[in-house]
Amino acid sequence: MLELQNIDVSYGNAQVLRQFSLRVAPGEITCLMGRNGAGKTTAMKAIMGLLPLGSGQITVDGVVASDLPAYKVPALGVGYVPQGRRLFSELTVAQNIEIGLMARGHSDEMRDEVLEIFPRLRERLNQQAQTLSGGEQQMLATARALCLRPQYLLLDEPTEGLQPSMIASIRKVALQMKQQGVGVLLVEQRVDAVLSMADTVAFIENGEAKEVISVNDLRADKSLLTRYVGV
C-alpha cells in the first residue's frame, strides 16, 4: 500500500497540502481529482521526494519513503510519469528507454516487454525524443517509467492534449498495469477517462483531502464532480 498520512507541503510561505491523506492499493487505479491549483501535482512530487514534508509521512509497503532522498524512492517500486512528460529530449527513443532500464539494472527482456506494450516506439527507436508527437512522447515517458517495473505508477495528467486513439492506448496500459497488480495513482481532468479507468476517486480541494468514493458510486451521483471539479 502507498499511503500519504496527514502530510503538509509548502512552497516557501505558501502551504499547498494541509494534513492531506491518501491511499493507493495494489491492483487498483485511484484517481485524484480537483481544480487547478488544488495540490494534485504537489502530492505526486511529495511522494517522489521532490518536495520536503512539513509534517506527516509517506510510506510505500510499510517503508517510510519520506525519510529517504528522492533518488531512493524509485527503488521502492514507484514509477512517475510527470505532467509535460519531461523526456531526455535530445536523446533518441532507444537511449531514453535504456536510461530507464539502467536505473534498476533491468535487461533486454524488459526492453522488449515495454516495446511490446508500445509497438509504435519500436518504429521510432532512433528518432530524437523531441521530434515525437505528443502522444508518442507520452508513450515514451510511460515506457521509461515501466522500465523500473514499478509496484506503484504515478501518472500526472497522461491524456492532456492527446487525440482519442492515444488516450485509448494510455487507458489500455493503465488497465494492464492494474491487472498485473500495480497500484496506479492517476491525476486526471477528463471525466470520461476517469470513469472508464478508475476504481476509486479521491477529491482534493485547497490542499485538503475531501471525499473518497468508488467510481460506481460516482457514476450514480455526479454531484461531487460539480462540487470539486466544476463540471
Contact residues for other proteins (CB under 8 A)?
Answer: 48, 50, 69-75, 80, 82, 86-91, 95, 98-100, 102-104, 126, 144, 148
What's the Cα-to-Cα distance from 92 to each of 98, 128, 173, rounded to whole Å? 10, 4, 22
19 CB burial (10 A radius; 0-12, 13-18, 19+)? middle
Nearer to other proteins, 88 or 210 (CB): 88
CB atoms within 10 A of CB 154: 25
Provide the minimum distance between the beta carbon of 99 and other proteins in the complex, in angstroms, as a whole number: 5
Which three cell numbers mark 15? 502551504
Provide the minimum distance between the beta carbon of 89 and other proteins in the complex, in angstroms, as a whole number: 7
Nearest-angstrom CA–CA distance, 203 and 160: 19
Q: How many helices and strands in the chain, by DSSP H and E? A: 9, 10
Provide the minimum distance between the beta carbon of 80 and other proteins in the complex, in angstroms, as a whole number: 5
Nearer to other proteins, 1 or 50 (CB): 50
Provide the minimum distance between the beta carbon of 105 and other proteins in the complex, in angstroms, as a whole number: 9
